[in-house]
Amino acid sequence: MTTIEDLVRRGAVQRVQVDTTSVRRLLEDADRHMKTATAAMKSGDLAGSFQLAYDAARKSLTALALNRGLRTRGEGAHATLIEVIEIDFSGAPGVGHREVGQGAGSLAHP
């Protein structure tokens, strides 16, 4: 099983100083994105709504990782972010995208 230290050694994750201002800003951005996504969906812009909801989720997970002193880097950073959350919170109820859908990228609901 991959560990956070494995990701750090590979250069996919960097240890950083926790910056609560950045964490708060990311969460506020995510909240605004979700509100705008809801409005876009109601107006029929499903693609725009999905894109904003995805960005909201990504910013929320980024805030969670940053709050633990971790930042993903380089190509594949979004996928690495999910891996970081799965590793860092393994064993926590409801953690892991494979539990929610049918695997990475799935939109299926259980």
d(CA 73, CA 92): 25
- Report whether 94 contacts 17 (CB < 8 A): no
Q: What is the pLDDT of residues 64-90, one digit of tens each?
A: 999 999 999 999 999 999 999 999 887
Domain regions of the chain by residue span: 4-99
Question: Who has greater pLDDT, 55 or 91?
Answer: 55
- Residue 21 pLDDT exceeds 60: yes
% of residues, the chain, pLDDT over 90 = 77
Terminal C-alpha separation, the chain: 25
Report the Cα 77 to chain-centroid distance in Å.
10
- Residue 33 pLDDT exceeds 80: yes
3-state SS, residue 56: helix
Confidence band of 96 (pLDDT split at 50, 70, 90): low
3-state SS, residue 96: coil
Question: Who has greater pLDDT, 90 or 28?
Answer: 28
Predicted local confidence at residue 89, as pLDDT = 82
User: What pTM, to 2 d.p., does this model score?
Assistant: 0.79
